[in-house]
Amino acid sequence: MSQNVKKNVKLPPQALDFEEAVLGAILIDKNAMAEVGDMLTPEVFYKDAHKEIFKATETLFQNAEPIDVMTVKNQLQQNKKLKVCGGAHYLAELTNKVISSANIEYHCRIIVQKHIQRELISTCSEIIQNSYDESTDAIELLDQVESKIFAISEGNIKKKYLNASKLIQNAIKEIERIGNLPSGLSGIPSGFHEIDEITSGWQNSELIIIAARPGMGKTAFVLSMARNISVDYKMPIAIFSLEMSSIQLITRLITSETGLNQQKLRSGNLEPHEWTQLHHKIKQIEQANIFIDDTPALSIFDLRAKCRRLQSEHGIKMIIIDYLQLMSTRDHKGNREQEISHISRSLKSIAKELEVPVIALSQLSRAVENRPGKRPVLSDLRESGAIEQDADIVSFIYRPEYYQISEWDYPPAGPTEGEAEFIIAKHRNGPTDNTRLRFEKQQIKFSNLSDNIYSTGIESGINQDLNTDDQM
């Protein structure tokens, strides 16, 4: 019976021969560590002794010291791990197991694969155990499962803390990388030059709130920005529209790109030259990597799952939510303010997890309407102060023309017609400032003030004045 038990015992997936070969190659080849250092961590090794030996080689490599049997032996002695690793004799044995480091990359991949298998077994065992627990919330468990599996698939398994020295090195490398960029932007460019100068582009892992009263053009702004990012900079982005259908959004994009009358597009009543103009102008939009989801009352749980999938399959660089107050949580036990707080915290966590900027539109309270000049401030954020707290950037869109204010109240003076103000009221990692944009009512889009206004002889005749404020 004891023999049958032994037969049924399964050892975790492992590749000890390959672990020995990799460590031996590192000990005999001074360039081996540079080749595989970014592929391996001590945790991927199955044998504890191998973990400690690799830690020692990592320390030597980071300190720019030579790696061989003697230096690794000395480092293990300093770490007080030489004895548990089998002593100098075992290190010498490792070097005898390999002739060269020619296949080291292939061997590393096998080690990593075995590690992933072990992590999957461990995760699945935990899932099974938690699933049998009657007190476990099934929805929360599902979210945890997806998060853990996603972490394994991305190679971010049990991410450890980094010391200050390593972080400083990474920060310097990032500064050097930014300095070599032709745009000089460290983040995702919006296509609006003055905004990009203030923000250095939308930064990864940041939550950006763009708030305004109805009619200011929140949706028009993010669609203009989405077009700039996906068409001009060839970056895939995701838009979650909780207010407008995907067809309505695409129609908006077509309107802004072609300059055609939106009402005519809705009715399909176009002249022959307008059809020609339409097919010619939409080619760029057709090729753009814009992924639109118009699920109404989207929950944070569903949003996170969809974003993970989009990043895994399409490598999205930015997430846009239109708009925050229309989102929901699956737990409605608290009041609306608590729910909004939970949503804003979750959006920030999604930004950090996926390492992309998350831009969420938000409504402002009616207090703006009672204020002279109607310019919004941070206290106007609707329903929760947590939005201001969680956000890295809080910005506002303000069009005085909408309120029949004809002149700007600060320099440079001039008429407000066809212009908007983009106000950065909070900027956690940079300055706050205001800048002006052009708002093209007929095309329902924003552009730089320095850009040429979109018009040609034929097209200006096609476009007619429409009151689109109530659609924005």
DSSP 64: T
Strands 433-440 and 419-427, by their bridges, are: antiparallel
DSSP-based three-state secondary structure for 49: helix
- List the structure tokens of 294: 């118009």
40 phi and psi angles, rounded to 5 deg: -115, 150
Nearest-angstrom CA–CA distance, 79 and 100? 28
Strands 237-241 and 207-212, by their bridges, are: unpaired
Q: Is 182 left (phi over 0), alpha (psi -120 to 50) or beta?
A: alpha
Identify the helix (H) or strand (E) that includes residue 209: strand 207-212
Identify the helix (H) or strand (E) that includes residue 321: strand 318-322
DSSP-based three-state secondary structure for 277: helix
Angle at 224 between CA 220 and CA 225, to 5 degrees: 120
DSSP-based three-state secondary structure for 3: helix
Q: How far is CA 182 from the centre of its chain?
A: 22
Residues with active-site annotation? 243
For residues 80, 86, 92, 95, the Cα torsion angle rounded to the nearest 10 degrees is -100
What amino acid is encoded at 266 in this protein? Answer: R
